[in-house]
Structure formats: structure tokens, C-alpha cells
Structure 1
């Protein structure tokens, strides 16, 4: 199974280093020196990581054979893809790989269908489930224990306890607003 672990950013300096946008919870494993990564577009790779270091909070990588700024800049926006064993599990009990979560059904605690996870967005403050709803719209669910109360890989579902407003249907909100507006109009008519 293939997993996108990073996206190459701009060149850093003149010796072939690049910044990378990390898309894995295990950069020390997936982006370590010696790792061989497939690429998208495929013409750029495969690439072997020669060195890696953190500079000003950003991960910098240098790939074998890339020795100057021009070579590094040519890799900009390339996706780095690691081959992983689909049976491999994270070391911590409450951790999951993205591929384990993609396509899980999302339901509320009372069993109400919310949708299906189509993407995991890794933000600096927290991760988000991007959930495709049955009507084709998307909902963003913060992947925090207060909201995502259970991940059941055997049943292929994520159970959530959403706070008010997180997944409420826009139609329900609009309908409630129309009802309130109708009440306001009716009470305004009583005043005359």
C-alpha cells in the first residue's frame, strides 16, 4: 500500500536542500536518511533521502543526486510516497494510520449516519476528518477524543459525539431560521 508522506516545497539554500510539508505522523520513520520514496509525478523519482534536518521549525531534506538549487527547485510540489505494509499498526494503542481511517463510516452515538471519511487533513493544531455526507456536501470533524469517541476498525466505523452546530444540516438551520422569521413576522403583525 502506498501512502503520501510529504510534499516538496521550495528550495532552501544552494546545496540542493528542500523544505517539505510533512503528511505523516511518523516523519522520523518515513523520512529518514536512506528511505527510498516513490514520487508523483513519477518522472521525479524514485528519490532516496540523503540527509534530513529541522531548521526554524521546518523539515529540510536533501536527496541523492540533487546537488544544487536548480535541481531542488525542479522537485517543487512533488508528492513523496512511501510503500507501507497494510497490516502494520502504529506503536501507540490510540493511534491510526490515515489508510486505516479512510472510508470509515461516521455515525453519531445514537447511530445516525453522518457520512464517510474521504481524507485526513493534518493541521498544526489538530487533525481533521473530511467527511463526505450522503447529500454530497463535506463536513470537517476534529479528530479529538471529546468528539471522536470510538474508532472501530472491525466494524469500519467512527463514532462521534458532535457539539451543537458541528454537523447540523444547513437545511435544518435554514428551516429553523424560517420558522423564527415567521414567528417574528406574526408577532410584528400583532403589534399593529
Structure 2
């Protein structure tokens, strides 16, 4: 997927017969889907711009109707697609909150500036997120809590962690 597009939802199935779709919101703030007027569907490398005409949320699931989709047969072709927005249209986040795509790839160091590895991915779990740090074929897991994650600097492209919280 193009780095300019950020996934905000995944189409899981059709809903009803008028072309509505059930979408799994990929944000920890699903209400943001209600404030988006246009979105991009990406499936099998094909990009399609769509206009949201209706969005109803229930927890992290949304029922969405697109202006361009008016039948179940049209909607079926979108099942399995990622719904994305352009990077420059992302909402601003409060202080000390980050988009995952901005964190992945950052170098991870302990408080003595010893390199631990590079952030490979972030697991979004019910209790808290977990940072997966990779160095060679070794992975170290850090809970994404203030006690373990001491500093994040997007500008310096680094994360400082308390090594004592790491689990291999």
C-alpha cells in the first residue's frame, strides 16, 4: 500500500440490500469515521475514491453508505478492501499520542542509549498496546505504558525505553 494512504477501516461484509457496508474501524477513536467525507478503497492494488453519504457507529463497527454504491452487487466488490485516508488529512492528536505508522521503523534505545533494535510493529491489545522491537532474528516486547516507554521523538526517529520492562 502507498505510504501516502493510512488505513482507517476494513470492509468486512455487506449490510442490507441498498449497498451499505459493515466496516471495522481501525482507529482507537472510531468516531473519527463520522467526520470523513471522502475515503479511498484499496483492494488488490486498485484505488477508488468514495464519498460517504451515511455513517452509523456502534463501538468499533460502522455501517457506511457511499454515494457511488447503490446496490448489494456493487457493495460486494468492496468486501475485504481497506478504507484509507490520505496522510495529510489525518486529525491532529493530543500531546504524547502517536499514529502507529509514525512509530514503526523508529530506533529503540535504553536509557543509557544502548540500541535495542527497531520498532517492527505495535500490537493493539485490550489492556495496552505492545511495542514489538526487532534486532536481527530476536524480538523484544515492551508494554506501551509510561513506566516502560520513557520518551518518543518522531523528529529524532527514536524511542527510549526502560530495558527492565522488555520481554524476549
TM-score, with normalisation over the residues of structure 1?
A: 0.70
2:83 maps to which residue?
Answer: 80
Counterpart-to-counterpart distance in 1, 2:50 and 2:141 = 33
The counterpart of 2:6, out of the listed 3, 8, 21, is 3
Matched, 1:112 2:114: yes
2:21 maps to which residue?
Answer: 18
Matched, 1:49 2:21: no
Q: Which has the higher helix share?
A: 1
Q: Which has the higher strand share?
A: 2
| Change in 2 beyond 3 A, CA 1:94/1:83 | same
C-alpha RMSD over aligned residues? 2.7
1:187 maps to which residue?
Answer: none
1:138 maps to which residue?
Answer: 139
Q: Tell me, what secondary structure is at the counterpart of 1:121?
A: strand
Structure 1 moving runs of 4+ over 4 Å: none
Gaps of 5+ in 2: none
Q: CA deviation at 1:53?
A: 0.7
The range that moved more, 108-117 or 150-159, is 108-117
Aligned residues: 165
Counterpart-to-counterpart distance in 1, 2:101 and 2:24 = 19
Counterpart-to-counterpart distance in 2, 1:31 and 1:37 = 15
Alpha-carbon contact 1:2-1:83 (below 8 Å) kept:
yes
Gaps of 5+ in 1: 169-192
**Could you give the per-residue CA deviations for residues 132-183 of structure 1, whole angstroms, max 9, x where no partner exists?**
22x234344332222212112232111112545x434xxxxxxxxxxxxxxx
The range that moved more, 155-164 or 96-105, is 155-164
Compare relative contact order (CA 8 Å, sep 6+) and give the higher one, 1 or 2: 2
2:155 maps to which residue?
Answer: 154
Matched, 1:98 2:73: no
The counterpart of 1:32, out of the listed 30, 35, 40, is 35
